[in-house]
Structure 1
Amino acid sequence: MKKSLILILLSVNLFFNNSAFSQKDNSKIINAFSDRVFIGKGYQPLGSLKWKYKTDGKIFSSPITKNGVVYIGSEDGFLSAIEEKSGNLKWKFKTNGAIHSSPSIYENIVYFGSFDGNYYAVNTLTGKLLWKFKTGGEHWLGEIGLWGMKPETQYMEDLWDFYLSSPVVYENGKLASVVFGSSDGNIYSVDAQTGDLKWKFKTNGPVHGTPAVDKNKIYVGGWDATLYALNAENGKPIWQFQTGTQIGFKGIQSSVAVSDGKVYFGAREPFFFALDSETGKLIWKYNAENSWILSSAVIKDNIVYVGTSDTFALLALDAKTGAEKYRFKTNGWVYSSPAIAGNTIYFGDFTGNFFSLDLLSNGKKSNFISTENRKQFASSTLKNDLLDFGYIAQNADLSVYDNNKKVMDQFYKLGAILSSPFINNNTIYFGSADGYLYAYNLEK
């Protein structure tokens, strides 16, 4: 969401949002957004395109890999299993809704959610359904006359509600559970093998954030603007932390990062927070300059890296104090959650650029590739190669909801990258709104 749009709406009085992990094929659990530090050496910029796989819908889901196969969901309603070496389809599993959830894996089961209202467990080898769990229904965030936009009687979906909650696996001894949020306002824990409900916890709004699990605690936030710490065994609340609730700046869409006794996360309230993991007390917060933070952070060497919306940046923050060490400027909103391998951090932006940045260069050494759609549409869509809401609106009345939707549809044509990268075997994978899953070689 552009702060300029919020200011426009205000002006017309229309309304008063780590432990290092090395990816190995024998990893028992691979959770979305929880393990973002991969095997790597030094600075490895992006190399040549290895392959790209086309789906029939925009991709918001983030890929994972295991045993030579990449798994990713698409707005076309399919979870696809694609061979790492060739980019050929191994199998795909059909749901009856868009898949904006990212998959997680436990042993030989892949878990994901769909807008058809189900969370699925599918055999990774065969693509056959093992079980599905019906929630109270999945839907975009929305309301009549959202943020005071016109017409006041129209139901409007939040155009920046990009993701569904991704299921994550929690294991205690021989027992494993799958935990996820739902648009029905509940956080669910189900048996990983059977899908039987273990417990559920009711919040005060849809939960599209992805849980994180650390030391028998589950951390997850939602559209009620509250971050919850729950007991992973029974779902009982341990503490909760309230973020801001101003219209247009309310809600938590990111997943948390946990490191050294602290919980790190961003929100639509334009701050990035560090809390005590035991008590939920605020340690510090970083002022993101009216910028939403939807990106999930990654931490390495006591530095927190996270993307921002309106400041078009990847931030590097001191993990202990929250002081900004530097920022790396991109060309648009950064909603993609970064991944690190060696001394390189990788992430995409909303204009269809995908970056590799040398962590030892203080933001000075980088390279990038662009989606094919960006190369085709950048000159007609971007202003001075930058995302600009007003430029595309061309004097259209942005107090009218449908005009905002038209702008977003134009931006998507760039091949916007909201998918977060995954790294394996010297290859990086990410999805794009152009419908492609990309596989790029990393330079050695």
Structure 2
Amino acid sequence: MLVLFALLLLPLAAACQGDIGGRTDGWNPPASKDGVVYVGTKEGQVKAYDDDGFEGVKEVWAFPSGQTQPDIEGVYSTPLIVGDLVYVAAEDGFLYAIDKETGNIGTKGWKRPLGQPPELPPLVAGPAYDSVNQQVLSATDDGKLYAYNATSGDEAWTRPFLAGASIWSTPAVANGIGYFGSHDKKIYAVTLNDGKELWQYETGGVVAGKPLIFDGKLIAGSFDKKLYALSLADGTVEWTFGADRWFWAGAVTDGRTIFAPNMDGNIYALDRNGNLLWKHDVDASIVSQPVVTPRGLVVAAKDGRIILLDTSNEDLGLQRELSNLTLADTEIKAALFSDGESVYVGSQDHEVRRIEIKGGQVVMWCLHTEDTLCSN
């Protein structure tokens, strides 16, 4: 499986001039809720840590423990926390629903698909929750979208929805409809009560990032170097915006402005009609989805720098950059995760940091998911 996934990355890495490539043990993505941090580690486990702020963190559990099953090989997408369960899409091809109290599947959790099927393609897209139908969505590298009952894990549809190629795009969900992109260059809208296609729109390139639902539109980037705004109702194009390279990471918003990261190193700030308000170059490709905080937009450059940007629409030039924190000798590919004025950052050196975003950036703690101590 690792060889297969590496081969899948090669054409993308080549087209992106080596920006993506790399190891196939995941991206170390963190998530946080109710004082607990969950990390899909590069050691092939999901770990939970009690978060005591400046006092540091303490490991609570690790899944799998090593006694029940082999490791899950890696995690690319942010864990999803709903109710009593933590949902993790793993590189071994399984979607896991883990009891967040015990760190086991036990009687509350589940693992899908059932049984021990032949070698599965890795799950790159993250799980998504459909609150209308109380389902968890899981998209696969062989182009299938599954819906599972969030509690029981039972399949919700008679058969999965089929796209024309791999799905690396974590679905965005609103009002019982799921929206996602595919390597077949298309963006899909699927009604989640029955798994039927509502509409599709074909772009000129792979659509790998999570779409953004904003202002009655679906904002999705493509490897054809364009950002698309499509009508949620029927998929018609409202506007497009072009850049110099791929739109990989998904766009985010503060409710007024769209912030779209691009592999050319720029964050593009657009109004609801797709007009450019400003752009800022971080001097490195952006694979990680940024986050909006009360203090501004936090962006992780792939080369390990974490940048806080002023989101005002004034012409600020270099003064737009409010602070810049550099992680030595590592890369950041996992999506950032925000909780209030804190941002959680997982990096390729097995480290996770909680950074307080106030006047600048203060590292509250740093953990190494394998050795417990950070290198810097």
How far off is 1:342 after superposition?
1.9
How far off is 1:100 after superposition?
1.4
Q: Does 1:188 align with 2:181?
A: no
Among candidates 111, 123, 127, match of residue 132 of structure 1: 111
Which secondary structure state, in structure 1, belongs to the residue aligned with residue 57 of structure 2? coil
Q: Does 1:78 align with 2:45?
A: yes
Among candidates 222, 227, 238, match of residue 272 of structure 1: 227
Instruction: Determine the structure 2 residue equivalent to 1:288.
Output: 243
How far off is 1:425 after superposition?
5.1
Shift in alpha-carbon separation, 1:6–1:133, aligned structure 2, 3 A: closer
Instruction: Determine the structure 2 residue equivalent to 1:89.
Output: 59
> What TM-score do the two structures reach when normalised by structure 1?
0.69
Q: 1:419, 1:66 → 2: CA distance?
A: 18
CA distances 1:390-416 after superposition (whole Å, capped 9, x unpaired): xxxxxxxxxxxxxxxxxxxxxxxxx11
Q: 2:45, 2:182 → 1: CA distance?
A: 25
How far off is 1:198 after superposition?
0.9
Among candidates 288, 300, 307, match of residue 355 of structure 1: 307
Query: What letter is aligned with 2:217?
Result: K
Q: Is the 8 A contact 1:315 1:327 kept in 2?
A: yes
The unaligned stretches of length 5 or more in structure 1 are: 10-16, 18-55, 141-162, 245-249, 374-414
Instruction: Determine the structure 2 residue equivalent to 1:304.
Output: 258
Quick one: percent identity of the two aligned structures? 23
Q: Is the 8 A contact 2:294 2:340 kept in 1?
A: no
Instruction: Determine the structure 1 residue equivalent to 2:171.
Output: 211
Q: 1:426, 1:301 → 2: CA distance?
A: 17
Instruction: Determine the structure 2 residue equivalent to 1:233.
Output: 193
> What TM-score do the two structures reach when normalised by structure 2?
0.81
Q: Is the 8 A contact 2:304 2:331 kept in 1?
A: yes
Q: Does 1:223 align with 2:183?
A: yes
How far off is 1:350 after superposition?
1.0
Aligned Cα root-mean-square deviation (Å): 2.6
Instruction: Determine the structure 2 residue equivalent to 1:26.
Output: none
Q: 2:197, 2:300 → 1: CA distance?
A: 35
Query: What letter is aligned with 1:371?
Result: L
Among candidates 100, 122, 126, match of residue 98 of structure 2: 122
CA distances 1:82-133 after superposition (whole Å, capped 9, x unpaired): 2221222111113332211321111110101112121000011110111100
Shift in alpha-carbon separation, 1:276–1:306, aligned structure 2, 3 A: same
Q: 2:91, 2:231 → 1: CA distance?
A: 34
Q: Is the 8 A contact 2:87 2:96 kept in 1?
A: yes
Q: Does 1:344 align with 2:296?
A: yes
Q: 2:61, 2:304 → 1: CA distance?
A: 27
How far off is 1:137 after superposition?
5.3
CA distances 1:3-50 after superposition (whole Å, capped 9, x unpaired): 9965999xxxxxxx9xxxxxxxxxxxxxxxxxxxxxxxxxxxxxxxxx
Task: Single out whichever of 94-103 and 73-82 deviates more from structure 2.
Answer: 94-103
Query: What letter is aligned with 1:124?
Result: K
Q: 1:96, 1:4 → 2: CA distance?
A: 24
Determine which structure has greater relative contact order: mean sequence separation of CA pairs < 8 Å that are 6+ residues apart, divided by chain length: 1
Among candidates 307, 314, 318, match of residue 271 of structure 2: 318
Q: Is the 8 A contact 1:263 1:275 kept in 2?
A: yes
CA distances 1:231-288 after superposition (whole Å, capped 9, x unpaired): 01111101001111xxxxx311101111121100101111010011101001111111
CA distances 1:140-198 after superposition (whole Å, capped 9, x unpaired): 6xxxxxxxxxxxxxxxxxxxxxx7111111122xx510012001211000011111111
Q: 1:101, 1:6 → 2: CA distance?
A: 22
Q: Is the 8 A contact 1:256 1:296 kept in 2?
A: yes
The unaligned stretches of length 5 or more in structure 2 are: 1-9, 65-70, 360-376
Which secondary structure state, in structure 1, belongs to the residue aligned with residue 187 of structure 2? strand
Q: Is the 8 A contact 2:29 2:41 kept in 1?
A: no
Shift in alpha-carbon separation, 1:171–1:70, aligned structure 2, 3 A: same
